[in-house]
Amino acid sequence: MSKTVQTAVMGVSGYAGVELVRLLARHPKLARTAPPVLMGRGETVGLTVERMHPALADIQGTGKLRVEAFDWKTLAERGVEVLFLATPHETSREMVPEALERGLRVIDLSGAWRLEQAENRAVYGFKDENRIRVEAAQNEAVYGMPELHRAQIRGARLVANPGCYATTAILALKPLMAAEVVDAECGVICDAKSGVSGAGKTPTATTHFMHAAENLSAYGVYTHRHVGELLEQLGLSREAMTFTPHLLPIARGILTTSYVRFRDAMTQEQMHAIFAEYFADSPMVRLRYAILPEIQHVVKTNYCDIGWKVAPDGRRAVIVSCLDNLLKGAAGQAVQNLNAMMGWTESEGLE
């Protein structure tokens, strides 16, 4: 398609926000439009991108882009059609209903709209003042994983970008769940490890250098916000899923090791056939067969690498999946969703 689109980004001060600006400013399909409109509130208003993120001071002038005070009228005057929200969950929950009412299409990087079931959404503690308005938006939300929902994303007005942990686990397990070869009654285990940037830019007692460096720690056991995404997208019960996230002393990247038991014996080749068929039209998934992926293979790319080993008895398997939490786990996947929305090649601007 030759159509292009004017974009805007709300929330450019964080790690995912800056990656999003970088990708949109250099996206080949957006070259004929004005640069993305950058919107913010508070202390970021008036700052240039290079003031916040010196690495974006390039010859294309990306670093000279300036953050404007958020205003719906400004978005309309600038002809914005697609609004990216790299904002806190509560902010996105507040802004999206009005954005839809104003005719904007939204790609939201927060967890505000990812979960269909209220019991899973309760972990965010949203206090929706206008429930009718919010429920109308929630009913429109499409879970933004193109490998699973590209047809729905194409016509969506609201795309909820998946969580970074959830992306690694779902891509590793969905083909097997869809093929109905996993014995869910035996339980599924996901052991996931992420770099510090996954916790966001604001430092905490557990993410500052003195705690994270030369350390490895588990957290959010049975309480992590991404668990609901796994349950809904994989069709598993809460009792069948054990998900444990860990903090790695590295800047970026996620490695998730998933453990499954099969209903009947499987071979390495049978697993490959299942994955290959499921991801046949998914350019951002790289199958590594028996070569187990590593974080260094995917960092600063939008690929999710998947590899696996079947046990000698054929009844068990270990699946390893890796991605960059700021790209395929956040900003890169958001741009992939834009590509799917517009009918462009999903890998456009991401390779």
**CA–CA distance, 57 with 328 (Å, rounded to integer):** 23
**CA–CA distance, 192 with 186 (Å, rounded to integer):** 19
Torsion angles phi and psi, residue 241, rounded to 5: -110, 125
Which neighbouring-strand residues pair with 305?
Answer: 286, 322
**CA–CA distance, 89 with 110 (Å, rounded to integer):** 5
Please say if 164 is a catalytic residue: yes
Distances (CA, A) of 335 to 4, 42, 147, 150, 235: 13, 26, 14, 13, 26
Catalytic-role residue among 164, 190, 304, 322: 164
Query: For residue 158, what are the contacts with CB-CB under 8 A and spacing of at least 6?
Result: 96, 100, 105, 106, 108, 113, 137, 140, 141, 142
**CA–CA distance, 297 with 304 (Å, rounded to integer):** 10
Catalytic annotation, residues: 164
